Amino acid sequence: MEELRLGTVCREARCPNLSECWSAGTATLMLLGTDCTRRCGFCAVRTHWPRGAVDRSEPARVAEAVERTGLRYVVLTQVCRDDLEDGGAEVLVDTVRQIRQRAPSARVELLIGDLAGREESLAKLFEDPPDVLAHNIETVRELSRAIRDPRASYERSLEVLRRARAIGPASLVTKSSIMLGLGESEDALVRTMRDLRAAEVDLLTLGQYLRPGPEHVPVARYVPPEEFDRYRAQGLRNGFAGVEAGPLVRSSYHAEELYRRALARRGT
């Protein structure tokens, strides 16, 4: 990763599961640089306005990394790029395309921002569709405005997921993630799960929010493991094909395993 000058969420977001995932042949690569144009209260990624600068060599370097490391399952995510007209969609789809050419057996999960709600940007991603399209709703409706950048919204996130299901290929698996411990009630969490299922989201991850630094939103509560177990069961009852839930679970945790659960549900 260092030789090819690639950023990973594993490092930039200080993920606690880096060694487990990398040793299992999975990784989460960050596209469009490592600076985000948004400032969410929970996120460790640096905020900066790149003024439209894009490294056009990045897709090829990512594809080379996937080929050289022999990754079986790669998660591609992006920093939000509100300075780009398409939100970075062209770079995202080019990266998927080049991975397909150089490592055709690798499965690709694309974890996107909201692309400023532009349907034409979302549609561009399906020119070379990923196996999984993920977008994180992050928290319950009642807390979304307080902890996310003002340009994000709960309703927009749901709409991104709904539209992905509507315009993506029939084989597409969709996925989302919720952080716990920000002050959400159990009733609000259950409502969020139901909203995601109403958008036909297949997979869900639930993890404990951990404060990256003193300038970020404080932790309201540490959720005990047995509560995560209850929420996992609730998610499965609500109809998700797979749910990962636990204190150290992050949106890409056990991504390949969750994807296979979705395939098993569909009988493919």
pLDDT digits (tens, 9 = 90+) for 11-25: 555 566 566 666 656
Look up tokens 């909203």; give the residue.
195
- The pLDDT, as a whole number, for residue 45 is 85
Average pLDDT for 60-78: 91
Cα gap 101→105, rounded to integer Å: 10
Return the pLDDT at 160: 98
What per-residue confidence (pLDDT) applies to 199?
98
What was the pLDDT predicted at 71?
87
pLDDT band at 202 (very low <50, low <70, confident <90, very high): very high
Q: What is the pLDDT at residue 215? A: 94
Q: Check whether 137 has a pLDDT greater than 70.
A: yes
Which whole number is the average pLDDT over 141-168? 97
CB atoms within 10 A of CB 186: 12
Question: What predicted TM-score, i.e. pTM, was given to this entire model?
Answer: 0.92
User: In this structure, which amino acid lies at residue 267?
Assistant: G
Residue 28: pLDDT band by 50, 70, 90 thresholds? Answer: confident
Q: What is the pLDDT of residue 16?
A: 65
The confidence score (pLDDT) of residue 19 equals: 65
Residue 196 has pLDDT above 90, yes or no: yes
Going by pLDDT thresholds of 50, 70 and 90, the confidence category of residue 80 is very high
Length of the chain (residues) = 268
What average pLDDT does the segment 230-248 reach?
A: 97
What local confidence, expressed as pLDDT, does residue 7 receive? Answer: 59
Residues paired with 133 in a beta bridge = 110, 174
Say how far residue 122 (Cα) sits from the centre of its chain: 15
- pLDDT for the residue numbered 44: 84
Angle between helices 154-167 and 186-198 (to 10 degrees): 30
Q: Kindly state the tokens that stand for 88.
A: 């970075």
Question: Which backbone phi and psi does 92 adopt, to 5 degrees?
Answer: -60, -50
pLDDT (average), residues 64-84: 92
The Cα–Cα gap between 192 and 198 comes to: 10
Q: Which residue in this structure is represented by tokens 């959720």?
A: 223
- Please compute the mean of the pLDDT values over residues 42-57 and round it to a whole number: 90
Could you name the CATH architecture of 7-266? Alpha-Beta Barrel (3.20)
- Angle of CA points 249, 107, 37, to nearest 5°: 60
Residue 102: pLDDT band with limits 50, 70, 90 = very high
For residue 125, pLDDT over 60 is answered with yes
